[in-house]
Structure 1
Amino acid sequence: MAKVGKSVIQSSLAHFGQLAISLGLVVAVSRILSPEAVGVFLMAYVAILIVLPLHEFQIQSFVIQRQQIDRLGLRAVSFAAWASSLVALAVCLVAAALFKLTYPDGAIVECLLIACIGFLIRPFSVPAAAVLARNMRYGVLSAIKLWAAVGRAVVTLGLLAAGFGPEALSWGLVAESVVGLLALRYVHSESRLIAPSPRGSREVFDFCVPYSGAHLVITLSTALTPLLIGSFQGLAMAAFFNRARTVTQFFRSSVEGAIQPIVLSEFTKVRHDKAELQRVYLRATSLLTGLAWPSLAWLGFSAGPLTLTVFGEEWAMVAPLATLLALGGLLYSATAWSAQLHAAFGQSRLLLLRDGLLQLPLLLILFFTAHMSTLAVAGGMAVAAGLSLAVNLMLVRRHFGISIAQAIASLDKSWWAAAMTGGIPYALNLWVGEGLSAPQALALMAASAAIVWPFALWLTRHPLLDEAKLQWESLRGADRPLA
């Protein structure tokens, strides 16, 4: 039987490696292409982002939470994967036609059409990857994702070195989908290349459509943001905002993105025991914020030297944007597991309603601030994250009996750890950092944070320390629950 602790560590390390490779690719591309050229790809990527929920379609979540899955069920899953991918492809082709009318030079359209090839590749690997996740084979899945990131980076940088422009980034996306086919190698032969069948697919669509719809309304604002900034502020400003968001996502999602399906599995196991469910959720939230909040706090204080060191002076505008987005990330992480909590109870329609309603004020903020400045957009997104936090807390209280006081109490130690990890290195840099170059200031702040963070965890007696000990034991073969 797969060990949860080992799965968490394998998935987290590989996801962190994947994000690190992606961030390295972003840095390299920023050094090679101009902000305007990067903006060309980002405008094309807007369409990919909009249909990304259809591309994934929450197939993995459906297979994980289903009590039993047989070959007939997998054929229905395959049908749903193909149907959603073809719909996504059709939407992107329509978007390509619209871009052709608004940007006649054709560069954006070329990037989009190349990226669309991935929609014809991914349905082959989605059912197999879902089966691997259901069987807790996160080590294999993590390795595939890591190699996919490597493949994307190699293809993109190779084509850029050969003289290609922004279309090289689209070919990198295609390479990522191709490497994903490795999932077929690690499942039983009866789970490979499953012929799609509409029989039984209604159950799949009943779960996946609302759940994916919830993600769709979230990604809608994510996709519209660079589109609005590019339209009102110029392609270069869209690139600045994207770089700030990429850096923030690296610090926010290194652990969160890796263990979302594992957390969903654990919530599903204890959903019949209300007290245990509350305990697992609160502890999981405390563990996540113990990692994410100090990282985001450090990012917010060190964004200046980090931006100059990583991207160069041409991208200096990224720093204040990253600081504001880091604030929004702090607010988001406080209830990041609430979606998995609702999904464990099959409340995908509630997620769709929740996220759909939350997008309305966010979209209003985006349309209003896009006319003003990119900084106003980033600040408005932080305000929207605060509103989302309040709504999520109320829903968790209503449906699972977790009071707002309990939720806040689970965050107090993470708050102090974040304040110390971000504030002390910043104060130290102000004290001794005069005359230091950006790389030297960044090294000083990074080294001091590496010392302050574990000390802060020890001082506050954060549960992350106990969890680290238990995870170490799990690597040595001990079976244990997530929390």
Structure 2
Amino acid sequence: MSAIERYASLLLFFVSTAVLSRLLTPAEFGTYAVVTAITSVFAASSQEFGGANYLIQKESLSEGDIRTAFTVTLGLSLGIGLGLYLLSDFAGRMSGSDDLKAGIAVAVLNFAIMPFSMTIVALLRRNMQFGVIAASNLSCNFTIVVVSIVLAVMGFSYLAPIWGMIAGSAVQAVHLVATRRDLRIFRPSLSGCAGIVRFGLYSSGVVLINVFYNSAPQLFLARILDFASAGLYSRAVNLTQVFDKLVTQVIGPVIMPAIFAQTSVGGDLKRIYLHAVALLTALHWPVLTVMAVMAKPIILVWLGPSWLEVVPLVQFLCVGSLSLFAASLTYPVLVAAGSVRDTLVSSLISLPPSLLVVFAASYAGVEAVAASALLTLPFQAAVAIHFISRHLELRWADIAHAIWKSGIVALCSGATAAIGVGLIGYGLIGPVAGILVAAAATAGAWFLALIAVKHPLLPELDASARLVLSVIGRFGGGVVRGAAARAGRNAV
């Protein structure tokens, strides 16, 4: 269910990115990116302080716990939203842009909506009810795309995607509240808030520093260079995150509840981690490698020639991101190991130095900021793995053994994609046809490489294929039986 929702959302992302890239200039998109960067830092902190992860990891959860978590989150969210609104004029003066002030003033509306959706989604994730979550997320994303494109056509400029975001959040909240029969969880309560605050201090600290780090390049570039540079970098990051949209965001909502479900019945956390790393790298590395190799034709076809400046940015970010193959596992594994504190400590060790590198690189230009990922991302990955190793008695040799097959698969995929780029470059085939041919050939090379090295992903693919065929068979059988029944009733 998570995959259905994410892949449908990915299709919407492809469409909206292609359309909005032709309706908004890099400077307009840069303003939107900076507004999103500022608000997302504080939004993440307010969400996690009361938050989803607290509700998921708590062994015995009462209605009082839920009400208190919601009350803490709502109060903090409203307070932060009001503070940002009051500071929007200062932010506009500091940036020399009234557009930034207007964008923040609109975006803070989301702070009044998010706590309702977040609380219900956390409970649904805890109970593994991903069908309801999928429906709500799809309704949200569809609304965002439609509203953003319509308003962009009407000339709302950078405000179009911001209003789209507000509309999507509102639709999602209404959908979730409508599906929740018992709304008593929204009654205010502060009973037992001390435990929530203790967990939230670490959890929100981790999220806050990570979100701020991810948002910082856009803020630095907008302040030191211009909003167009921020827009180019933000668009490059979005393209680099295709793997996240293809895989990480599909399994992300499932990882923590799944790990807790396995460890609660005696599962070996070290074995779970290494197996997950092996599976993730077989997908993560080939996608990033192919994206880096085929960046120019993909951007030319997808975004148009006005965005070709992002090609080297995408390539630098893709190569640097290869080191983040286990990033989605770090937080849930450390929490499962009983050390949420280490999630914050590892972030405090790795991110401030990385932030200094990004800040210094921003004076050299947007391309230097992207190139700094070749240093900062491997450093962050090494620190995170070090902390996990302390709890799981993990050696670097264990990780190397888990990922070497994936490395061969990625090399085969990248080499095949390079042939397609060569055909396009020599004019033997057009960009659109070249991308399609290269995609098909790369997929074939990827699958053959999995077979050649006997990758552990193969049994998972086989099980998934059998499940899909079984579902299709049951659905088809149901349709046939229903038609036969209707025919029988009509005959009678």
TM-score, with length taken from structure 1: 0.91
Q: Distance in 2 between matches of 1:20 and 1:432?
A: 25
* 2:114 equivalent to 1:118: no
* 2:32 equivalent to 1:41: yes
Q: Residue 61 of structure 1 contacts residue 261 of structure 1 at CA under 8 Å; is this kept in 2? A: no
Instruction: Describe the SS at the equivalent of 2:268.
Output: helix
Instruction: Describe the SS at the equivalent of 1:198.
Output: coil
Matching of residues 195-344 of structure 1 within 5 Å: 195-271=187-263, 276-344=268-336
Per-residue deviation, 1:270? 3.9
* Counterpart pick for 1:11 among 2, 5, 11: 2
Unaligned runs of at least 5 residues, structure 2: 472-492
Cα distance 1:66–1:310, how it changes in 2: closer, same or farther (>3 A)?
same
* 2:17 equivalent to 1:26: yes
Per-residue deviation, 1:55? 4.3
Q: Residue 7 of structure 2 contacts residue 246 of structure 2 at CA under 8 Å; is this kept in 1? A: yes
Q: Distance in 1 between matches of 2:109 and 2:277?
A: 38
Q: Distance in 1 between matches of 2:460 and 2:364?
A: 45
Give a deviation string over 1:182-217, Cα, whole Å, max 9, x none: 122333x33456212111122122212211211111
Give a deviation string over 1:227-259, Cα, whole Å, max 9, x none: 111222321111111111001112234221232
Q: Residue 222 of structure 2 contacts residue 229 of structure 2 at CA under 8 Å; is this kept in 1? A: yes
Letter in 1 for 2:201: V
Q: Distance in 1 between matches of 2:352 and 2:155?
A: 43
Q: Distance in 2 between matches of 1:428 and 1:250?
A: 20
- Name 1:100's counterpart in structure 2: 92
Per-residue deviation, 1:147? 1.6
Cα distance 1:191–1:343, how it changes in 2: closer, same or farther (>3 A)?
farther
- Name 1:448's counterpart in structure 2: 441
Q: Residue 425 of structure 1 contacts residue 444 of structure 1 at CA under 8 Å; is this kept in 2? A: no
Cα distance 1:22–1:332, how it changes in 2: closer, same or farther (>3 A)?
same
Instruction: Describe the SS at the equivalent of 1:336.
Output: helix
Instruction: Describe the SS at the equivalent of 1:67.
Output: coil
- Name 1:6's counterpart in structure 2: none
* Counterpart pick for 1:349 among 330, 334, 341: 341
Q: Residue 288 of structure 2 contacts residue 322 of structure 2 at CA under 8 Å; is this kept in 1? A: yes
Letter in 2 for 1:60: A
Q: Residue 82 of structure 2 contacts residue 108 of structure 2 at CA under 8 Å; is this kept in 1? A: no
Letter in 2 for 1:441: G
**Number of aligned pairs?**
467
Q: Distance in 1 between matches of 2:456 and 2:183?
A: 40
Q: Distance in 2 between matches of 1:474 and 1:224?
A: 43
CA RMSD of aligned residues (A): 2.0
Q: Residue 301 of structure 1 contacts residue 426 of structure 1 at CA under 8 Å; is this kept in 2? A: yes
Give a deviation string over 1:90-133, Cα, whole Å, max 9, x none: 44225413223134552111111111111111112222111111
Instruction: Describe the SS at the equivalent of 2:204.
Output: helix
Per-residue deviation, 1:140? 1.3
Q: Residue 325 of structure 1 contacts residue 381 of structure 1 at CA under 8 Å; is this kept in 2? A: yes
* 2:178 equivalent to 1:159: no
Q: Distance in 2 between matches of 1:54 and 1:85?
A: 9
Q: Distance in 1 between matches of 2:4 and 2:457?
A: 16
Cα distance 1:158–1:126, how it changes in 2: closer, same or farther (>3 A)?
same
Give a deviation string over 1:45-78, Cα, whole Å, max 9, x none: 2211221312431622211111121211111111
* Counterpart pick for 2:44 among 24, 41, 53: 53
- Name 2:462's counterpart in structure 1: 469
Q: Distance in 2 between matches of 1:153 and 1:347?
A: 39
Instruction: Describe the SS at the equivalent of 2:64.
Output: helix
More displaced 10-residue stretch of structure 1: 106-115 or 264-273: 264-273
Letter in 2 for 1:204: I
Give a deviation string over 1:438-467, Cα, whole Å, max 9, x none: 333323322221221211212221111101
Instruction: Describe the SS at the equivalent of 1:417.
Output: helix
Q: Distance in 2 between matches of 1:40 and 1:170?
A: 10
Q: Distance in 2 between matches of 1:162 and 1:40?
A: 18
Letter in 2 for 1:328: G
Unaligned runs of at least 5 residues, structure 1: 1-9, 478-483
Letter in 1 for 2:193: S
- Name 1:362's counterpart in structure 2: 354
Cα distance 1:335–1:131, how it changes in 2: closer, same or farther (>3 A)?
closer
Letter in 2 for 1:402: L
Per-residue deviation, 1:379? 1.4
Q: Distance in 1 between matches of 2:162 and 2:351?
A: 28
Q: Residue 136 of structure 2 contacts residue 176 of structure 2 at CA under 8 Å; is this kept in 1? A: yes
* Counterpart pick for 2:62 among 66, 70, 82: 70
- Name 1:4's counterpart in structure 2: none
Q: Distance in 2 between matches of 1:279 and 1:215?
A: 26
Q: Whose RCO is larger (CA < 8 A, sep 6+)? A: 1
- Name 1:5's counterpart in structure 2: none
Q: Distance in 2 between matches of 1:95 and 1:298?
A: 43
Letter in 1 for 2:459: D
Q: Identity of aligned pairs, percent?
A: 24
Instruction: Describe the SS at the equivalent of 2:190.
Output: coil
Letter in 1 for 2:187: A
Cα distance 1:408–1:107, how it changes in 2: closer, same or farther (>3 A)?
same
Instruction: Describe the SS at the equivalent of 2:182.
Output: helix
**Larger-gyration structure (1/2):** 2
More displaced 10-residue stretch of structure 1: 247-256 or 237-246: 247-256
* Counterpart pick for 2:139 among 147, 150, 169: 147
Cα distance 1:126–1:275, how it changes in 2: closer, same or farther (>3 A)?
closer
Instruction: Describe the SS at the equivalent of 1:165.
Output: coil
Instruction: Describe the SS at the equivalent of 2:372.
Output: helix
